[in-house]
Structure 1
């Protein structure tokens, strides 16, 4: 059995204010290949993404944008 390394990356995201925001972002980012988990901190404006290997930052930014929010950078 092989062990796959995971990468934890936290991003700053603007426009989040409620549980719907959490659900929309979690659904959009979880649908991406290589994403293992997504944690959304509404109060802190942070989204933490666990991926296998290096994250596809362009894909993550696009998924967040498509959900109606803006990735403003890494935290």
Structure 2
């Protein structure tokens, strides 16, 4: 059976750093960046590269739709 590997892409300029995605992630993949975007918010990013399983919990709770989740089958 193939394993699913996930990855997220965050629209950093739309992210307002509400932290909902960080709390929703069951694998603690997402963190808030220390840097700020153009609006002055600490935006979220994928802190652990190979840990994401593509469950989409983060994208579901994001109120601004800033997160896109990708899933890839790994043999």
TM range (shorter): 0.3 to 0.5
Write 1 or 2 for the structure with the bigger share of helix: 1
TM-score (normalised: structure 1)? 0.45
